[in-house]
Structure 1
Amino acid sequence: MGTIGSTDALTDVHAGDPYPVYAWLRESEPVYRCRTGAYLLTRYTDCRRVLTERACFLAPGPLRPSAGTAGACAPVLSRVMSAQNPPRHTRMRAAVARRFVEHVRGQQPWVSRLCDRLLDGVVERLRYGVADMSPLAEAFARDTIMHVLGLPQGDRERLCALVSDIFPTSGPLPGQECDGAVAMRQLTDYLHGQVARRRRAPGDDLMSELVEAHTACPEALPHEELVSILTGLTVAGYPQIAAGIETGIVLMIRHPKWAVFLDDAAGARMFVEEVLRYDAPVQFTPAPRIPARTVVLSGVTIPAGAHLWPVLGAANRDPGVFTRPDAFWPGRGGARHLSFGGGAHYCLGAELVYLEMVMLLRRLRQRLPDLAQARPPAQRVGRLRGFTSVAVRRAEADRHDR
């Protein structure tokens, strides 16, 4: 998701609690035209239509900065898969979707060991007082995607810095520029080098399999599309999941009556679904949608070629679709949230999101059932919902101290 220029409503959305702003927009201006000329969509039915009617609502494809785009960040991410249309999108998705899911499932034992090792450190720190869960969330998500792709763990600091420059998880606020072009060039150069290494010495990782697919049939998976796929997986592979984990931990502590859902696998999946609906890490789609013809949404006529931004966080709390939408209520049933988008662009990484969030939240409850807030969590301000710090302690320690 990119910051959408300098707009009055988005100043409030990015600078605090966005949900009152969303409620006002849904009720008063469900199709809100920004100063840039882009349109924000906040009702569930409008967002779902734009996400699923592929023939009418197009992805932007490669962009140059223009009115209504997502500021200076748009061209940087415009070549990743989520910004493409058929046949390019179809080809890229077919090349990676099945392979990605199979690799994620095959790596569950490794991910499980990583989860336990990271939690061992948290348990040890809590013996002496307070632990911050945000570094745990980031390390778990980052190391998992690096392992799935086969990226050297020794490169983690370098990759973290590049991804942060391309997709800064805090800010910038509307009106501030975000030029990640230099970092994107550095990341793609790095991935070109990794691809070359796999050609010489393939491993059992996802990148090696994709390189093999390119070598066997380069017209089906051209080299530049291979690198674009790897770029998208690297940039989107951990900041958003880490933010979801942070939010899940906070909600687990704030709502102990619902935390019991984490005691079994089926309930944990419902708990995670509600975390994603209630406070989605990514509040906007990664790229705008562009109507191929004049359309009408919520009574507003929108011309062909306009830039539409479905606001996923607003759609997920639409009272016309969800009962008591501002309540955290695992197992609520009914409509599916839109946090993974929809249609042909449904989030490729959804399987990884569920694996990591369910596994870590369940293990956390099993090992630290008396977890409590040490101080109010620090909400991240800007383009990605989550927390910059989630300080916790063990409530049991309080009883021993008394």
Structure 2
Amino acid sequence: MNDEGPSSRRLRWLYMASLILAGDSIYLLVYMRQSFQTSMHEVFEISYTQLGIMNSMYGLLAITAYFAGGWLSDRVATRTLLSFSLFATGLGGYYMATIPSYPMLLALHAFWGVSTILTFWAALVKATRLWGGSDDQGRTFGILDAGRGLVGAVMMTAGAWVFSRSALAADGLVDVILLYATASMAAGLCVLAFIPPDHAHGSLTHSDNSNAPAGQLRVVARMPAVWLQALIILMAYWLYLGSFEFATFAEKVFDQDKVFGASLSAFREWLRPVSAIAAGFLADRIRASRAVSIAFITSAVGYGALALIPGRADLLWMLWIQISAVAIAVFALRGIYFALMEESKIPLLVTGTAVGLVSTIGFTADVFAYPMVGWFLDNYGPATGYQYYFSILAGASVFGLFLTLTLGWQNQRGKPREQ
């Protein structure tokens, strides 16, 4: 790409900037609970369990959409899929701002499971792969994830500021919903403006064999490393979702206000780009499995400390330290857990199928994590409920460490045979 002129380079980076904006803006509405859970609980007049079921409905639709989304992304133009997804998600946000009933919120989150996964996720990955060259895919996806983290931090900071401007929680929440919905719509316009048609960059389809997907799935299903990685990602993603509870934890257990909770979530998000990039460099130096193991150990210590820390105002400094440690760990995990595929020598020919299988299993935490924490809060209260839940997450960190050590041992054992 060194022969590109300034204009071509500018358009190329506008292409990536559009993907970055789209890749995070579309999920702001779906994951609002990480900053505004208590406000949603009050404004929508629903219990924490119902709030968890609402997000679980999204997770159920999303899990069923990963494989189908990959099939769809090879048959419909990437720009069309991305722009449709962003506009549809944004329109759903405008409807959410009318404060609909609980059944309609369930339907809305099911709809978002389609618009943010079926017609979006695989298309985003495809567009990113087309942007990068064959020898710089790691850097390409690193830029995407770090950029998404930066966009998320900016938008969550803006959301916290918008929320703080309103005297009533209901007004503030509606303003935040409108902000996030408009961000999704704006990202859709950027996609239409700066992402060219697929044929301008070639195709990812290299075979007309209609039986290839089934054959590749059989090959992937026979690989123990794939199943280990699926479980590792399941643990890592569950730990990441657990970090969404930090705002509510600070509000309910440490008796802080909603603005503090939203600001805490924004601070957590600012750690994402730095953590992902640093973890990537570390993984290149010491192997991905070792870096993942370090992140699991950090997460276990952090969640264990959060389960034990008393909810006293004079211990807020400890809360910041533990939340920072957990956030760095979970964002590091998200940044590098797919790098385990290269270490495990998953054949390039079946990479897409492997990612689909791993994602389907690994992201099932969207289905059970929210109802679980909602049940703990409703039945035991915030202080005891979070003590139990964070203890479980500390145990999940230890199990993730065991899985990672097993995978690393298996990879090392397989080296002599490969050589």
TM-score scaled by length of structure 1: 0.28
The structure that is strand-richer by fraction is 1
